[in-house]
Structure 1
Amino acid sequence: MAAIETFDLTKKFGEFVAVDGLNLNVKEGEIFGLLGPNGAGKSTTIKMLIGLLKPSGGRITILGNENLMDYKGRTGYLPENPALYEYLTIKEFLTFIGRIKKVEKNVLDEKIREITHTFSLEEKLKSYIGSLSHGMRQKVAISAALLADPKVLLLDEPLTGLDPKSQRDFKDIIREKAKDHSSILLSTHILDVAERLCTSVGIFNKGKLLATGTLDDLRSLSESSSSSTLEDIFIKLTEEGEKDLP
């Protein structure tokens, strides 16, 4: 079953086409990496999926629904540059997010304890967000995205600012979510992480999806050797894509 589907999804800003006829299919339990150079259209795509940008054309279905309000409550979102409430403590902020997401009161505190323990935030619960480092803020934003046990996760550059241990903890959580049949779409520019973490990837350039599939699929499509890394394939396909684009 497809958890995320787009059909000829398009976004224009004036004459500029940021996303051009995107057809995407992310299955239940899949960790899908959306890869591309800066300005490829990855963040624009994720913003359309979560409802922050209105498409210029095409359709989106998430968990079988086209109506944003039917799936938004079951979707976790991490923007590339999270905007957090600096004058709230971590505990206050996560409680606020939990209530918005309609997490039951009798389980909310336990969920906050679990997720903050995972990211070593439990001793910082009374700290104001404005006093935190960039990496700590990223942990809070990820915690907020995961808090309501979403069935779909949309993560834009989730590893930014995380130390090595937190990166490992994050990857472990994502793998567990996938085992629990949640579907994850993440954008990242860290190709070796995508190679180890994602079950399939899509290579995106100038608003177009150039290729999608497992690493072996992409090796075959790009006529690359069995020893080729995702980085090798990415560079080859994007360079070839540049030649084909007007």
Structure 2
Amino acid sequence: MKTIRLYLSNSLPHRDGIIEEMDGPSFSTALESLVAQYGAMGERYLKAADRFVDFWRDEVAGGCIDPKARVLILHPEEMERRFSAVLDRCETRPERTVLMVWTIGEALERRSAAIMSEKGRSMEGLLLDVAGSIMLYKMHAALLGWVETTLAPLLGKPVSGELYPGFGGMLQDVMEDIEKNARTDETIGVRARGAGMLHPRKTQCSFVVLGQSTTDRWDVVLPCSPCTGAKCLYHQLGGCHLTVMGGGRFDGAGKRETP
């Protein structure tokens, strides 16, 4: 298990600028989805997966992941001022919005690149990268659960949806606004880079919408664009986020397939 280090703040005028550091939710570092993927392929593949899992445990013990998250509670007027482009994607105006940015840090991607450069270890390095992505998905689930069970009740507002910058037509250049307004560089070491990217590479973000909604709760778990389905190397290695998060897999033509 790993515990996420949280950096939490509220946009209320008398609280703006005050960032509290605390222990957040924990998540399992086990690779169940990867083992299941290889187990379905046969005994030989399962043995290879088991060997990698042993290697992964050593890497985790050695500090290859450093889970941190920046959480910013945004009130309506601050959401309008700081992230007006995001509001255009909401079905109704949120009563509160929670910006979450989470990362496992830079160590794993450096370690993965170093291993892939060694002769005969390219697959091991790639699997390490896949494992890092799986940890990001697990962090997301842990953080969203924490918002639903801890933060939302404190605010008196239920979770009604979630939006992801860079997906579903949402502007990718909002990343620079995220770094600036959430001060992610000074808190969790996350910086915005060109083409709507965040660095370290193993970093994700979302806007969790709180408040009563006129429609059923909506969660947007979308495929990569373009999605190549079974041809995707990440899918073949057990790292497709749709499968790991229980959202199924897309066939590349916008149709959802069950895992």
Whether TM-score is above 0.5 comes out as no
Larger relative contact order (CA 8 Å, sep ≥ 6): 1
What TM-score comes out, normalization by structure 1 length? 0.27
